[in-house]
Chains A and B, each alone.
Chain A
Amino acid sequence: MESLAIYAPRLVTTKEYLASGHRACSGCGEVLAVRLTCKALGRNVIIVNATGCMEIVSSQLPYTSWEVPWIHTLFENTAAVASGIEAGIKVLSRKGGYSQKTKVVAMAGDGGTMDIGLQALSGALERGHNFIYICYDNEAYMNTGIQRSSATPFGASTTTSPAGKISIGQTSWKKNMPAIAAAHDIPYVATACTSYPFDLMNKVKKAMKVEGPAYIHVLSVCPTGWRLPSDLTIKAGRLAVETGVFPLYEIEAGKYTLNFDFPQLRPVEDYLKLQGRFRHLSKEVVAQIQERVKAEYAKLKRKVIQGS
């Protein structure tokens, strides 16, 4: 899918649902992800947006970037509000006041999904509401000043897990959120990355067709928080996938598919050395990360081969 260079991109819609002029940092991968997602979603959606970068940059009073129905929620109740809206639509259409098939889409960052909003999300997934939940994972609380979250990878330096003489930064491994979502036995779970735009839009379109909850985990490169030159956003995302740090896969009704399988994975060092948040890492720690990535990737591949 991804090697459709140059001509197929001209067939993607030119209509924008997230207007320009928002306050995202230059080189922001997350706002690009939201823009592409909105293109794939189209006009007939209601977006429920948790507090976080995307809410801050897109809706500064009295302006808004959103050209689709949009509601801002707290960190913790995004999935709850989304399920409420979905239930409301269901009731309205049963009573005959509403005939359109509007999809409810919840969007949140990694903090709003994996830390604070997890119980509401778990509840909504378990109740089987017909909605899409998209997590834009930039691996820390970026808009408040780069505090660590449970999505922050091992060894990353953040303001609340600073690297120094006695610490290597974050000392716990990244929480495997797609696996948590998949454990709810929902019809569709996928991981995506802005560096693979066709794959991302394809997955969003697939999620639109699903009856029931769908979860998409999007790795959104954050040049500000990752201490990365802003022109390397796309490259960093590609490297994350090519090194096996963030493999792109989907789980359809329990069946695993790896979307990008490379003849050989790149060494993780290629990915780590780009970013200032990893620059303090010693060779031993890098080797430790490499080992973990390899093991995780092998585990995923086993699941793909077994089919579940």
Chain B
Amino acid sequence: MITLSIDGRELKAEKGQTILQVASENGIDIPTLCYHEALEPYGACRLCVVEIFKGGRSRVVASCLYPVEEGLEVKTSSPRVLDNRKMILELLLARCCKNKVIQELAAQMGIEQPSFKPEYLEDNDCILCGLCVRACEQVVGVSAISLVNRGITKEVAPPFFEAATACIGCGSCYYVCPTGAIKMEDKGDTRIIHNWKVEFKLKKCKVCGNYWAPEKQLDYIRDKLHLPEEFFDVCPDCK
């Protein structure tokens, strides 16, 4: 057990936990966009910055990556943290000037208008948090998409910017995306994920006739678990 203080509260934590985990367990709100408990922390969005005090000095660190230490003193909303967070949001807002989620977060911090010149504003939805890439790799295990290029040309894309051949259409990327940048829709018997330029035929249930999952995903699961050929012919409701 480790004892640390967050915002003046004495808290107990397990060794190896991060500041963000301990804070959220104790009801202390730290905003974040790129953290997800099922995935390895990545520290991309930097919104979760906090100020730590140790040995007479203070530093600003990303709380999703910083492991707790004995006697650590953390402040989640000191003026220095708020200044940092505000700047990060200004930059995110400049990149995604029309995204609802970012606009709301910015409004909470008191930013109504981006302070950059209009010609520098971009209308992008993706904040490059890498959640979709990590989910595809760590949860689904197919790595159909990845982060390509560096610096200002960095983006999430399938290999060679062509249709994602490894994608199984499970929709995890769409589910996990914090800003709604991934566009997926089910139209009749097809599922389209626009970002990865892929289309999937949906499986029709033999009993009720409803479409319930992409055929490619079911094939993938069947091969992985060595299930019989007709295992997915009937949807879970009719089984």
CB distance from B178 to the nearest CB of A (A): 12
Known: A11-B38, A11-B176, A238-B237. A3 touches B186 (CB 8 A): yes
Determine the interface band of chain B, counting residues with CB < 8 A from chain A: 20 to 34
Q: Which among B139, B174, B208, B236 is the interface contact of A242 at CB below 8 angstroms?
A: B208
Task: Check B147 for interface membership: any CB of A closer than 8 A.
Answer: no
CB distance from B218 to the nearest CB of A (A): 9
Known: A235-B237, A242-B237, A266-B208. A5 touches B27 (CB 8 A): no
Task: Check B36 for interface membership: any CB of A closer than 8 A.
Answer: yes
Interface contact B29-A44, CB-CB below 8 Å: yes
CB distance from A14 to the nearest CB of B (A): 7
Given A4-B171, A14-B37, A263-B209, 6 more contacts at CB 8 Å?
Answer: A4-B175, A5-B217, A10-B38, A11-B36, A209-B104, A242-B208
In the bound complex, residues from chain A placing their C-beta under 8 Å from that of B38 are 10-14
CB distance from A55 to the nearest CB of B (A): 22
CB distance from A253 to the nearest CB of B (A): 15
CB distance from B238 to the nearest CB of A (A): 9
Task: Check B24 for interface membership: any CB of A closer than 8 A.
Answer: yes
Known: A11-B175, A13-B37. A6 touches B237 (CB 8 A): no
CB distance from B239 to the nearest CB of A (A): 9
Known: A242-B208, A262-B210. A8 touches B175 (CB 8 A): yes
Query: Which residues on A are within 8 Å of B, measured CB to CB?
Result: 3-8, 10-15, 42-44, 99-101, 198, 209, 235, 238-239, 242, 262-264, 266
Q: Which among B24, B39, B170, B209 is the interface contact of A7 at CB below 8 angstroms?
A: B170
Task: Check B25 for interface membership: any CB of A closer than 8 A.
Answer: yes
In the bound complex, residues from chain B placing their C-beta under 8 Å from that of A263 are 209-210
In the bound complex, residues from chain A placing their C-beta under 8 Å from that of B186 are 3
Task: Check B109 for interface membership: any CB of A closer than 8 A.
Answer: no
> Per-residue CB proximity of B196-222 to A under 8 Å, as 1/0?
000000100000111111000100010
In the bound complex, residues from chain A placing their C-beta under 8 Å from that of B237 are 235, 238-239, 242
CB distance from A99 to the nearest CB of B (A): 8
In the bound complex, residues from chain B placing their C-beta under 8 Å from that of A235 are 237
Sort A-B residue pairs by CB-CB distance and give the 3 closest, nearest first: A8-B175, A7-B170, A7-B172
In the bound complex, residues from chain A placing their C-beta under 8 Å from that of B29 are 44, 100-101
In the bound complex, residues from chain B placing their C-beta under 8 Å from that of A198 are 175
Task: Check B135 for interface membership: any CB of A closer than 8 A.
Answer: yes
Select the residue from B36, B104, B172, B211 with max chain A CB neighbours within 10 A.
B172
Task: Check B45 for interface membership: any CB of A closer than 8 A.
Answer: no
CB distance from B189 to the nearest CB of A (A): 10
Known: A43-B25, A43-B27. A8 touches B209 (CB 8 A): no
CB distance from A235 to the nearest CB of B (A): 7
In the bound complex, residues from chain A placing their C-beta under 8 Å from that of B104 are 209
Interface contact B221-A6, CB-CB below 8 Å: yes
Task: Check B140 for interface membership: any CB of A closer than 8 A.
Answer: yes
In Å, the complex CA distance between A135 and B36 comes to 29
Interface contact A11-B25, CB-CB below 8 Å: no
Select the residue from A10, A11, A44, A238 with max chain B CB neighbours within 10 A.
A11
CB distance from B142 to the nearest CB of A (A): 9
